Amino acid sequence: MIGLLKKDFALLKSQLHFYLFPLIIMVGIFCVFTDGSALAAIPAFFGLMLSVNCFAYDEQSHFDKLAATMPVSHSGMVYARYLYGLLISVAAAVFATAATAVTMLVKKLPLDMAFLLIQMAAGIGVTLLIIAVFYPLVYKFGTQKSRLLVVVVILVPSFALPFLLNKLDESGVHLSFDFGGNPALLPILLVLLIAAGVAVSIACSLHVVRHREY
C-alpha cells in the first residue's frame, strides 16, 4: 500500500505547479475581500480535483490491469486511495486554516482559535463526505461519467437544503439540536456519521473493484 501512495504522490508532485497559480489567486481574492473564512472551501475543492487526477491517470495508463498482474490486493488499492484522499484533505485544511489566521492577523481581526479549529475540522469532514460519494461512483462508472454524477449528488442537496430550511423557518417550524443540554454531543455525532459514511463508501468501492472484469 505504501508503494501505491508513493505513486499517487509522485503524480501530485509532477502536477502541483498547475495548481499553484489558481490556488494563489483564490487565496488572494478570499484574503482581500473577506475575513478569510471562505478559505474553508479549499480542502473540498482540491481534495476532489486531486483525486480525480489520480483516477484519470490510472484509467489512461490502464494501471488497474497492470496491478491485477502484480501482488497487490484489491483491498490494498482501495485503502491506499482513501488514505491518499484523507492526507490531501488534512493538508488542504491545515493550509486553509493557516491562510485564514494570517488574513485575520493582517486585517487586525481578533484571532479566534476555536473558530479556526472548527473551520479546519469542517473542511476535513466535508471533503471526506465528498470523497465518500465520489470514490464508489468513479470505481463503478469511471472518471468522465462520475464527474457529472458527483455534481448532481453534491450540488442538488447543497441548494435544496438551505431552501428547505428557509421554508421551514417561514412556516414556523424550527429545528432544535439540544442533546439534553450537552453541546459536545453534536460534534461527536457528526464525526460518527462521517466515519460511518466513509466506511460504507469503502465497502461499496471494495465490492465494485472485486467484481470488476479486467
pLDDT digits (tens, 9 = 90+) for 54-101: 888 888 888 877 776 777 787 888 999 999 999 988 888 888 888 788
Sign of the dihedral through C-alpha 179, 182, 186, 191: negative
pLDDT digits (tens, 9 = 90+) for 108-127: 777 778 878 887 888 888 88
Kindly report the backbone phi and psi dihedral angles of residue 69, in degrees, each rounded to the nearest multiple of 5, phi listed first. Answer: -95, 0
pLDDT digits (tens, 9 = 90+) for 147-178: 777 667 666 655 565 566 566 556 655 555 55
Asked whether the predicted pLDDT for residue 33 surpasses 80, the reply is no
Inter-axis angle of helices 113-141 and 143-170, nearest 10 = 130
Query: C-alpha cell of 101?
Result: 489566521
Helix residue ranges, H only, 40-141: 42-60, 63-68, 74-106, 113-141
CA distance 155 to 114: 28
Average pLDDT, integer, range 41-50: 74
Residues 26/50/14/91 CA torsion (nearest 10 deg): 70
Q: What is the pLDDT of residue 83?
A: 93
